[in-house]
Amino acid sequence: MLQAGDKAPDFHGRDQDGREVDSRALLAKGPVVLYFYPRDFTAGCTLEACVFRDAFSDLDARGATVVGVSADDEASHRRFADKHGLPFTLLTDPGHALAKRFGVTRAFGLGTRRVTFVIGKDGVIRGAFHHEVLIQQHVKNVQKTLSAIA
Catalytic positions: 45
**Distance (Å, whole) CA 55 – CA 51:** 6
Other CB atoms within 10 Å distance of the CB of residue 85: 11
Q: Which residues pair with 59 in a beta bridge?
A: none
In order of 58, 82, 107, 109, 136, the CA distances from 10 in angstroms are 25, 28, 24, 22, 27
